[in-house]
Amino acid sequence: MTTPRPLVVDTDPGVDDALALVLALRSPELRVELVTTVAGNVPIGAVTDNARRLLALLAGEASPRLVRGAARPLSGRLATAAHVHGEDGLAGLSHLRDGRGAPLYPSAAGPRPGRDAAAAIVASAREHGEALTLVALGPLTNVARALDLDAAAMRGIGRVIVMGGAIAVPGNITAGAEFNFHVDPLAADRVLASGMRVTLVPLDVTRQVRLRWPAVRRALAGRRSLLARALRHVTRELAARREGLVLHDPLAMALAIDPALVASRALPVRVETAGAHARGMSIADRRGLPRGAVPAPTVDVALEVDAGQVLDLVSERVLTRGREARVAPARAADVVVVGSANTDYSVTGPALPRPGETVTDGTLHRGFGGKGANQAVAARRAGARVALAARLGDDEDGERYLAHLRAEGIDTAAVARDRRAASGVALIAVDTHGRNQIAVAPGANARLRPAHLPPAMRQVRAGGVVVAQLEVPLDTVEAAFRAARRAAARTLLNPAPYRPLPQTLVALTDVVVANEVEAAELAGQPVRNVTSARRAAAALVARGFATALVTLGARGVAWHHGTKGGHVRAPEVEAVDTTGAGDSFVGSLAAGLARGEGLVACIEAAVQAAARAVTRAGAQGAGLRRARRSPADSA
């Protein structure tokens, strides 16, 4: 198991804060070092008491240091949310009495909490630096103060996860503002513009994660501990409402455990601090910048969420279990491929039809194609454990494809089905000389969204490889690569079919594998032979890719990495069908990289695999289009 990551929680409990705190303390991936309190949902005395009570209930499981923080926002008066959380912040928990009239949940005994939250946060930042995660669940007063004390140390924190704001949805305290930002807009604005590595968790995603009372009751059934009774009490009223108990803070905490639960986008976000009507409103600029403008600091804004997974996590760790926190599921994939899956219908006939012409007497073959699925199959056949994120229609082609992927031993948890678009199809005409014409209808492939990625991204392990091509939307590829980076996996981009790449994607790519045509476009210089291919590979590295490979068909592969470059020959074989050679190469390369082998050794193995593929017409991973008779063939 990996060592737990140090965590600081800044909080104003608060019903959902309480659940988030329990989640943090019960998660083996995290080690809660410090809990700081901030006035918000209720005043500072009450939130600090609540945090002490909760920590006392969990005593024995963990005992982080508790430090009291700001009693009021940076400017103006405190406005609380007692109407939601109850006047004590925990639905009246502090007033419950036992049979003899004694408080059931008395204020915790023991040492009084320290009083300088900002200084304590800075001390943790200095001690742990990059390794530290800070999760801020309330108004950002303490965090802004910590920035005043030592901005450099705060910018050194590995991840700052902030629950707050509303990007494209209404607020929850005014039409425009979310509560935490509304309470202390100055602090929120400072934090977002600070240059810290912020992941913002706005209402756009938190509102999608709702806990309902029947689920709480079921999960807590039979549990009699004081903590279980407290959880039942504090959640009941909100969870029983029609809209359920919205898990704002537990979602933010869940991201400290598993960043891949959301899809996010880098956006500059500011908070209105002075507006008469829009005070506390978060403003994300999605218009892009005019050429030459100075870019504003961005934060990663979570915009889509896998709500079911978050609910499962909260339910398992907070409600169902006692002491024995469940360990995260094993990360099972070496290679995660994000990309297309097409069914290829090819008709081989005497000649290719000209415009307006019909050519008859052809023979139909059906095969499995699409670069994403091809590469997934190739990686699997090279021995990797593979998960594919793709989208198929809710139709026969989709059904057949899914069964095929499963039969190949590929994890399909992230193969989404689309009721509105058909499965991707390629219509191919082939003449007796092997020349072809291809028309593609991407269908569901074009609707693969970042939100479909988590079931695959969750599986990728540190040191694994995430592979993508360009037959699915660019923002989905970017989201996948960002998630890969967070999981410490490598990213491999096959820029096919070619389209211009945003520099953000270049920066997220570790290895680019382009054929001659793509490399010439990307590098902006001709690629005709090994020498020019080596030059293009070097140019691609200069453009920002860590490693660049240019595939040259029968002439092998040119590569460049850092200041080194070279060429690997392809074995001489009798080529029968070179369609999909690049996909075989990419899949095999990814499998090798995930095994931790050196670059040149990986290229050598991939060149062998691709050569084997071109000697066979046939199933995926070999000749992909002119399929040999396989269970998929209808002819």
Question: What residues line the site for ligand ADP (CB under 6 A)?
Answer: 515, 551-554, 556-557, 570, 573, 575, 578, 581-582, 585, 607, 610-611, 614
Q: Residue 436: enclosing H or E segment and its boundaries? A: strand 436-441
Which residue lies nearer to ligand ADP by CB, 121 or 377? 377
Which of 394, 510, 583, 633 is flagged as catalytic? 583
User: Shortest Cβ distance from residue 11 to ligand ADP (Å)?
Assistant: 52
Which residue lies nearer to ligand ADP by CB, 423 or 515? 515
User: Shortest Cβ distance from residue 371 to ligand ADP (Å)?
Assistant: 9
User: Shortest Cβ distance from residue 573 to ligand ADP (Å)?
Assistant: 5
Asked whether 268 and 245 are in contact (CB, 8 A), the reply is: no
Strand pairing report for 269-271 and 210-211: unpaired
Q: How many Cβ atoms from other residues are within 10 Å of residue 112's Cβ? A: 9
Asked whether 126 and 134 are in contact (CB, 8 A), the reply is: no
User: b vs e for 77-107, b when ≥16 Cβ sit within 10 Å of the residue's Cβ?
Assistant: ebbbbeebbbebbbbebbeeeeeeeeeebee
| Backbone φ and ψ of 410, nearest 5° | -100, 140
Asked whether 405 and 339 are in contact (CB, 8 A), the reply is: no
Identify the bridge partners of residue 343 per DSSP, sorted by sequence position. Answer: 368, 425
User: Shortest Cβ distance from residue 534 to ligand ADP (Å)?
Assistant: 13
Give the Cα separation of 122 and 126 in Å (integer).
6
Residue 506: which of 530, 523, 489 has the closest Cα? 523
Which residue lies nearer to ligand ADP by CB, 225 or 437? 437
Residue 135: which of 260, 1, 286, 250 has the closest Cα? 250
Which residue lies nearer to ligand ADP by CB, 174 or 615? 615
Q: Residue 192: enclosing H or E segment and its boundaries? A: helix 185-192
Which residue lies nearer to ligand ADP by CB, 273 or 515? 515
DSSP for 471-487, written as a single string = SS-HHHHHHHHHHHHHT
User: Shortest Cβ distance from residue 384 to ligand ADP (Å)?
Assistant: 18
Which residue lies nearer to ligand ADP by CB, 539 or 576? 576
Which residue lies nearer to ligand ADP by CB, 308 or 497? 497
Strand pairing report for 133-136 and 363-369: unpaired
User: Shortest Cβ distance from residue 579 to ligand ADP (Å)?
Assistant: 7
Which residue lies nearer to ligand ADP by CB, 63 or 531? 531
Which residue lies nearer to ligand ADP by CB, 25 or 610? 610
Tell which phi-psi region holds residue 443, choosing left (phi > 0), alpha (psi between -120 and 50) or beta.
left
Q: What is the DSSP code (8-state) at residue 211? A: E
The answer, yes or no, to whether the previous bond of 14 is cis (omega within 30 of 0) is yes
Please state the separation of Cα 511 from the chain's center in Å: 19
User: b vs e for 236-248, b when ≥16 Cβ sit within 10 Å of the residue's Cβ?
Assistant: ebbbeeeebbbbb
Angle at 57 between CA 56 and CA 61, to 5 degrees: 85
Give the Cα separation of 525 and 464 in Å (integer).
32
Asked whether 339 and 372 are in contact (CB, 8 A), the reply is: yes
User: Shortest Cβ distance from residue 123 to ligand ADP (Å)?
Assistant: 53
User: Shortest Cβ distance from residue 401 to ligand ADP (Å)?
Assistant: 21
Instruction: Report which residue's Cβ sits closest to ligand ADP.
Output: 582
Amino acid code (one letter) for 281: M
Give the Cα separation of 453 and 464 in Å (integer).
16
User: Shortest Cβ distance from residue 501 to ligand ADP (Å)?
Assistant: 17
Q: Which tokens belong to 554? A: 């029968």
Give yes or no: 17 in active site: no
Catalytic machinery residues: 583
